[in-house]
Structure 1
């Protein structure tokens, strides 16, 4: 832990990241007086946000709530982009990516994980039981067995059928805003004012063997600072990876931007970098310590869940195109 804290301290000082100003601290503290437990999550996954939100209302920590919330989708075989039932890669393997962050800034992640439905729970074990942040492939699988996770078959009958149909043409073209699309990323604010986040995905359908997207990468698919807020991403992982979008959003909020302004700026940077932006989706959601929420995306059609005060609602995101 001493090594991790040393690295965190020296890394931040080396790139000149500003600390929260006394003004920002006063702003957050004054607004937090009116805040209450809150959960936001990417896409229209009401069961996931309901699970996390009800846990928060019952007094659960933000960390427990985000883990249990996204586990709902990992276990839902109707969702072909998360957990068991996820679409396989081009070789027919279902591989999962996930990460999780706690309020103190600790993080854990797994990439190219096979045989385990709840990748987010394995990621939490990496965070809590190892000196590392990321475990990959066979090492991640071995670690999961050591931690008591039973080996599971992730390729369902429906996913295998769809894969065999895809083999007839082997056309690789991401579909924008498909139903039950892509990553579930979640942020929770608990009764103590602490923020935690999680992100889990089976990645792009029929991806190249070994491909890893943004979902398990701290700073891209997920980032939070408990003094400021947090952000999660979904959509075309390659574009999000190159923008380090979630980290950018948190830093913009640290400088005083609202979650909405910061999400829009992150998307606009992706658009500027990619002339073919009309061919894919990239989206962000964010919250700050005051419980303010924002969302922005490239293409119309992205939405996000918000649970607060017993209300579990889906909201369309603002968009560029």
Structure 2
């Protein structure tokens, strides 16, 4: 996903195979179509028609080995829930239980039924890169690229291509980038929240902490992080469930500086 903070144009692709440079494909969507998001096989075909190399086999020896070991472990862990058989590679079927909303009694807290997710996300289970850039004219752009969660269910789309979730920019205000449990974070559009909070006068540090805390109140086991930067270049980060690092480089800096944010 890429977003122009001046025009508010967005280009994004999702569930795309055989194309190595997803962020380039997203930019092609923004530059050459009036759409915002293309997905699946047709997104791949579009990208190739616009000049990107492909179809390309994106498997590596490391990824194949990881997948084989996962299969040998009966496809555990995975992202299925309320299905049978539980400890296998499927095919899966509903276990026949009613929805939580239909089985809870008055006064029960439905959040008790939310499965803990910490075993799915961590430093080595996904590979999101989110970036914000401010040019010499003060124009801001953001971009996010990711392969998504390891061992995800085929067809899954996370927060990477969702404007306002993985990233958001408004050159009048600032920008935000996010990483972590995208299935949870995209429900809150945390980066849109950050930019709007800064619009109302919050400092980047407070805006980032506020967006993270909104998620943590509902999902205390989630893992995620945010960086925020205003139009003047003041930046900060906030995280939950891990220690987060982000890097900054400006024309005045001799080298890139890494900032560490603790939960």
TM-score normalised per structure 1: 0.66
Taking the TM superposition and a 5 Å limit, the aligned residue runs for 1:162-201 are 162-169=66-73, 170-172=75-77, 173-178=119-124, 181-201=126-146
Structure-1 separation of matches of 2:230 and 2:260? 19
SS of equivalent to 1:116: coil
* Aligned residue in 1 for 2:60: 156
The unaligned stretches of length 5 or more in structure 1 are: 1-98
Instruction: Report how far residue 171 of structure 1 moved.
Output: 1.2
CA contact (8 A) 2:168 2:177 kept: yes
Q: Which moved more, 1:291-300 or 1:119-128?
A: 291-300
Which of these residues, 5, 21, 27, is aligned with residue 118 of structure 1?
21
Instruction: Report how far residue 148 of structure 1 moved.
Output: 1.1
The unaligned stretches of length 5 or more in structure 2 are: 78-118
Instruction: Report how far residue 307 of structure 1 moved.
Output: 1.1
Structure-1 separation of matches of 2:150 and 2:202? 35
- Answer yes or no: is 1:128 the counterpart of 2:31: yes
Deviations, residues 269-318 of structure 1 (Å, cap 9, x unaligned): 001111xx33x411100110010001000023211111122320111113
* Aligned residue in 1 for 2:254: 310
In the comparison of the two structures, how many residue pairs are matched?
A: 217
**How large is the Cα RMSD of the aligned pairs?**
1.3
Deviations, residues 210-256 of structure 1 (Å, cap 9, x unaligned): 00100110111111111000111100001111111010000000000
Which of these residues, 152, 159, 165, is aligned with residue 207 of structure 1?
152
Structure-2 separation of matches of 1:263 and 1:167? 38
Structure-1 separation of matches of 2:154 and 2:192? 27
TM-score normalised per structure 2: 0.80
* Aligned residue in 2 for 1:270: 215
CA contact (8 A) 1:264 1:297 kept: yes
* Aligned residue in 1 for 2:233: 291
| Greater helix content | 1
Structure-1 separation of matches of 2:76 and 2:42? 31
SS of equivalent to 2:242: coil
- Answer yes or no: is 1:255 the counterpart of 2:200: yes
